[in-house]
Amino acid sequence: MSKLRRQLSSSTSSVVEPKKLSELKDKTGNLYESIAVIAKRANQINVTIKEELHSKLEEFASHTDSLEEIHENKEQIEISRAYERMPNPALLATTEFLEEKVYFRRNDDEDMFS
């Protein structure tokens, strides 16, 4: 299990729970900005998890075109199931955001509109 997976899934439940919108808004001052930050972080987490999963499953890939050689690999199935049980990247990103583990900054481009 990778360090990222252990770190992310240790404190996050895989069950969706309601969040107070005021808590999200308080972090940035704008609800939509908070949601945008969470969405960007969720995409980063998703890409990382996907790359990790593909690299692990690549070990089991057979590069032959014969259908007769395809068989079930229990280790591959267990790896896939472990990733399926992980919390959704959006849940992980929201938890990180609320615990102030996400760094974000604003691009103040007010000069563009004046």
Per-residue model confidence as pLDDT tens digits over 16-46: 788 899 999 998 999 999 999 999 999 999 9
Count Cβ atoms below 10 Å from residue 45 Cβ, excluding itself.
21
Backbone angle region of 29, left / alpha / beta, with phi > 0 → left and psi within -120 to 50 → alpha: left
Read off the pLDDT of residues 53-106 as tens digits, 9 standing for 90 and up. 888 888 877 666 555 555 667 888 888 888 888 889 999 999 999 999 998 888
User: Measured between alpha carbons, how far is 3 from 15 in angstroms, rounded to an integer?
Assistant: 22
Cα separation values, 70 from 17, 53, 76, 77, 78, Å: 40, 20, 13, 14, 17
Give the pLDDT score at 5. 53
Q: Are the C-beta atoms of 70 and 86 separated by less than 8 Å?
A: no
Q: What share of the chain is helix, strand, coil (3-state, %, to 5)?
A: 65, 0, 35
Closest C-alpha among 13, 28, 5 to residue 83: 5
